[in-house]
Structure 1
Amino acid sequence: MRILLWHVHGSWTTSFVQGPHTYLLPVTEPRGPDGLGRARTWDWPRSAIEVPAHELRSTPFDVVVLQRPRDAQLVVDWTGLVPGIDVPAVYVEHNTPQQDVPNTPHPAAGHPGLLVVHVTDFNDLFWDCGSTPTTVIEHGIVDPGERYTGAIAHAAVVVNDPVRRGRVTGTDLLPGFAERAPLDVFGMRVNALRHCPGFPPDRIHLHEDLPQDEMHTELARRRVYVHPIRWTSLGLSLLEAMHLGMPAVALATTEAARAVPPGAGVVSPSVAELHEAMCAFINDKELARETGAAAREAALERYGLKRFLERWDQVLAEVSS
């Protein structure tokens, strides 16, 4: 099957393109949000092929994967085809609703020719998709392998664009964690934190734009993974950290409580309890290692790549039939 999709969510796409299909990724000049093409910091197979946007009208494909409201119009503009009418289409919803929760209408609501694929049951519950059919395909992770050493008695956080996203990603909570243990923050545009008041440079160490494999190795050297996210769907960095064998400390918001089962870490809406849990793992390396091993086992069982790809093959076959 030839699948047209945009490089919108790097970690999710890394898993998606591991399947048995050909994946067509639009490229624009310059490479902007509508035409990033292949990833630069993730390892993608050769079956993920870049196609210049102006060539898509003459490029055959079997199904289109929409991920943003504007993707449907891009398909029309670049190919002359209407998703869900002229070509089979699904709309992958990566995000939680951001407006009048829980009454937010989904961009694909009222388009019965589409299928909305939510990445969590939480999303499926909170988005109002109206008459448009929905299903859920939970995340699958390319297993980075068990790398945990916990040799560095720091906590690790992964967050992209923390200044702009602010309270959504729990950026305001980072100084409180850093008061109790040194904090290593990884991700895109994290260096902007240097200019924020209240961020102690001696307690919060920033690591911007590392290649994924290098970031995984560095994460696994830290004692514990902290997930201070208030309102995103389900951070794939949390699942990746669990795959690495790291114990998890996470806010009990959106899907986190299901992702981190008992014994794999501590999940709570109480920031004070999370501070205490983080310190317990920092101070007890054996506890951290045992909990991290349980976290890896849980993540492999629920968020394994094989299950993810098989479920996607099933859905793509159904919408294309």
Structure 2
Amino acid sequence: MRKLNILIWHIHGAYLTAITQAEHNWYLPTKPDQSEGYIGRGVDSTMPEYVREVPADEVRNLDLDLILFQTPKNYQTDQFEILSEEQLQLPKIYLEHNTPEPHPTFSRHPVADDPGVSLVHVTHYNRLMWDNGQAPSYVIEHSVAIDPSVRYEGHREEGIVVVNELQRRGRMAGFDLFEEVRQQLPLTVMGMKSAEIGGIGEIHYRHLHRRLAEYRFLFSPMRYSSLPLAVIEAMTIGMPIVALATTELPTVIENNVHGFVSCSPDELVEKMRYLLDNPAEARRMGEQAKKLALSRFGLERFVRDWNRVMEEVVTAPVLSTLRP
């Protein structure tokens, strides 16, 4: 397809790095205060050079083809602050990263009644649980863009959790389960504000995966979320996964093949001990996890899916978007 000029806000750095592997002209709005969505490429970015920063007050001068939202604020506020009247009529996609709140089945999506916006979910579970209304909806499963030279080592006899602000996010992110499990076996956490709860702290994305590769397994304590990118990243480097059997994960992790999933914390602790005591088995499962990650969550498939959806959206008749 032809190269598009796409406006996207910087919301999720890891996902942004992956989606911008699609070779289009990507524009990231910036503001001096670096408020939410306006940090541009970020510090020491690994994104391609065709991902460009543009001051927010100059966005209205861009010749754009597509607007890509990722948060209610992008959709409800930001677009009306920085886009021109002409740009407001352009094709639009809302990329939904999250499971619905406050209720998993009775939450209506913010764009459900807007005929001018197409909706992309990152998992089938997300699309199933959101009330999408009449919005054209798609599913494009995750991928990650990480250094292909990183390999699982697993020499640390310890598990690792990778979650930003685990304590603040509480039971939804499984903070209570993390606290319970780390009293029973070696387990630590990496991510924003993790040092405050005795963890490793935040590590730049460029270096995160080499550090991650040292640990025996990745534990995902998420009770309710989309499919965590940390799981895909760990699988991609050849690491076994231990996780709650919730949301999309039961369709990804097969017990004793890629790791273990269960809704019983006691059973998961037993399986973690097994991996700590059996490094060869951990490596075997990690190799199977990598095969699955490269086939189901590979970048080529991801870019192909995104190009297909973007082409369909930009060539469809444009309907007027709702106004606040």
When normalised by structure 2's length, the TM-score is: 0.92
Contact 1:140-1:306 at 8 Å conserved across structures: no
Match of 2:215 in 1: 222
CA drift at 1:42: 4.5
Aligned counterparts of 1:82 and 1:96: Cα–Cα separation in 2? 32
| Aligned mate of 2:314, from 309, 317, 320 | 320
Which structure 2 segments of 5+ residues have no match? 316-324
Q: Is the 8 A contact 1:267 1:274 kept in 2?
A: yes
Structure-1 residue corresponding to 2:53 = 50
CA shift for structure 1 position 101: 2.5
Instruction: Tell me: CA distance 1:42–1:259, structure 2 relative to 1, closer, same or farther (3 Å).
Output: farther
2:194 to 190, 200, 206: 190
Deviation of 1:261 after TM superposition, in Å, equals 3.0
* Superimposed CA distance per residue, residues 78-134 of structure 1 (whole angstroms, 9 cap, x where no aligned partner): 122477x61000000000011132111001111122110000000000000111111
Q: Do 1:3 and 1:23's aligned partners in 2 also have CA atoms closer than 8 Å?
A: yes
Aligned to 1:91: 94
Task: State the partner residue of 1:236.
Answer: 229
**Residue 277 of structure 1, aligned match among 256, 267, 271:** 271
Does the C-alpha gap of structure 1 residues 242 and 42 become closer, same or farther in structure 2, counting only changes over 3 Å? farther
Do the aligned residues in 1 keep the contact of 2:10 with 2:28 (CA within 8 Å)? yes
Residue by residue over 1:145-169, the C-alpha shift from the partner in whole angstroms, topping out at 9 and shown as x without a partner, is: 3511111100011010112101111
Given that 2:243 and 2:260 are in contact with CA atoms closer than 8 Å, whether structure 1 keeps it comes out as yes
- The unaligned stretches of length 5 or more in structure 1 are 195-205
Aligned to 1:302: 296
Q: CA deviation at 1:41?
A: 5.5
Summarize deviations over 1:203-230 as a string: whole Å, max 9, x none: xxx2222112322111111111111111
Q: Choose from 255, 258, 263 the match for 2:251.
A: 258
Q: Secondary structure at the match of 1:226?
A: strand
Q: Which position in structure 2 is the counterpart of 1:311? A: 305
Number of equivalenced pairs: 309
SS at match of 1:3: strand
Residue in structure 2 matching 1:210, options 197, 200, 203: 203
Cα distance between partner residues in 1 of 2:206 and 2:37: 26
State the superposition RMSD in angstroms: 1.4
Asked whether 1:169 is paired with 2:163, we answer no
| Whole-angstrom distance in 1 between the partners of 2:222 and 2:106 | 22
Deviation at 1:40, TM superposition (A): 2.2
For 1:147 and 1:40, how far apart are their aligned partners in 2?
A: 25
Q: Quick one: percent identity of the two aligned structures?
A: 37
Q: Which amino acid aligns with 2:72?
A: P
Output the CA distance in 1 between the equivalents of 2:92 and 2:226.
22
**Contact 2:182-2:188 within 8 A present in 1 as well:** no
